[in-house]
Amino acid sequence: MRDLPNMRITQLLGIDFPIIQAPMVGVSTPQLAAAVSNAGALGSIGIGASSPAQAEAMISETRKLTDRAFNVNLFCHRPARLDPVREQQWLEHLRPLFAEFDAEPPAGLREIYRSFVDDPKTLEVLLDTRPDVVSFHFGLPKQDWINSLKARGIRLVATATSLDEARQIASAGLDAIVAQGAEAGGHRGVFDPSQDTLIGTFALVRSLAQQSKLPIIAAGGIMDGMGIRAAMQLGAAGAQLGTAFILCPESAANPAYRAAMKSPRVESTAISSAISGRPARGLVNRLFTDVGSSGAPELPDYPIAYDAAKALHAVALAKGCEDFAVQWAGQGAPLAREMPAADLITTLAKEMAAQD
């Protein structure tokens, strides 16, 4: 078989198997990432919601647990614009939901974490700690930041949900593209949510494989070795799986999240922007059915809107209600398996090999 660029992902990322554990903020942990990397795949930690000090601590903890390559993921969304009028209108929209739990909405909303594009201190952390792989979600940082990271020998990857985004990634000089289909759980990596074309994983992978010279990593709805193999037959170099790892004991998923993942609720996922301010797929609950109801006012910017959803969940949880918990999951959720991360990697590799 010809030595296409899409066949060299293991060498590029320093892994044994063409499998990446998705960097799920709130679910991924240093323990999960290290277990995946130690098993021969690429573990990931997400630091998009972390301060520079927290990010450095997570990288350090992961490095103590593995001497293999792992991925550090960052959010590159457009920095939020505070709009007190819009934010108050949103809080008033949510007031009846807070009232169900005898609570008032917060007085105001905050930008609960910064975009990497406006966070030079986190760039310094990456340049100092030099993780093997750094990946970007929601867009790209400044070109000189990209050049600085490359100069440290760091492999760079970014998420694309369309051909145009993939072209931007290639033009910026990155090493690989995560092709995220609409089936994927969690936040969509679309650069501009108003331009989201919701292309499915396999259609996107095949299109990018035909047009891009960079290795393509398929993401979205892939849960087993057969799915990985199918994506590779369409031209992917490998696959990134997220929902498949939620039930691993090393993940940070809480008991309610785990119970939901083993319930009939996994058969229904949906995409909503009303939870955080950007489109994301998860298990349907009242965050999907009530928060973004018809007649809702204009959303605050991401992640300011997320601050409201987290506050609503907190007051509901205090009353013993989990109906407003964020439980991100992709369309492949019914296929999730409960096993240690290392065992899952071994199982995925065996399933891939069985197709030969």
How far apart (Å, rounded) are the C-alpha atoms in residues 229 and 238?
A: 8
What's the pLDDT score for residue 2?
A: 38
Strand partners, 282: 270, 328
Could you tell me if 120 and 148 are in contact, meaning their C-beta atoms sit under 8 angstroms apart? no
- Distant-in-sequence, close-in-space partners of 104: CB < 8 Å, separation ≥ 6: 95, 98
DSSP per position, 21-88? E---TTT--HHHHHHHHHTTSBEEEE-TTS-HHHHHHHHHHHHHH-SS-EEEEEE-PPPP---HHHHH
How far, in whole angstroms, is CA 274 from its chain's centroid? 17
Residues 150 and 202 both lie in one domain: yes
pLDDT of 226 over the 60 cut: yes
Residues 133 and 215 both lie in one domain: yes
Dihedrals phi, psi of 331, to nearest 5 degrees: -70, -15
Dihedrals phi, psi of 63, to nearest 5 degrees: -65, -30
Q: How many domains, in total, are found in the chain?
A: 2
The answer, as to whether pTM is greater than 0.85, is yes
Residues 109 and 20 both lie in one domain: no
Residues 163 and 291 both lie in one domain: no
The CATH number covering residue 143 comes to 3.20.20.70
pLDDT of 220 over the 50 cut: yes
Residues 222 and 173 both lie in one domain: yes
How far, in whole angstroms, is CA 82 from its chain's centroid? 24
Residue span of the structural domain in which 316 resides: 81-113+263-334
pLDDT of 356 over the 70 cut: no
Residues 325 and 346 both lie in one domain: no
Residues 63 and 172 both lie in one domain: yes
Residues 342 and 201 both lie in one domain: yes
What's the pLDDT score for residue 4?
A: 44
In terms of Cβ atoms closer than 10 Å to its own Cβ (0-12, 13-18, 19+), residue 49 is middle
What's the pLDDT score for residue 180?
A: 98
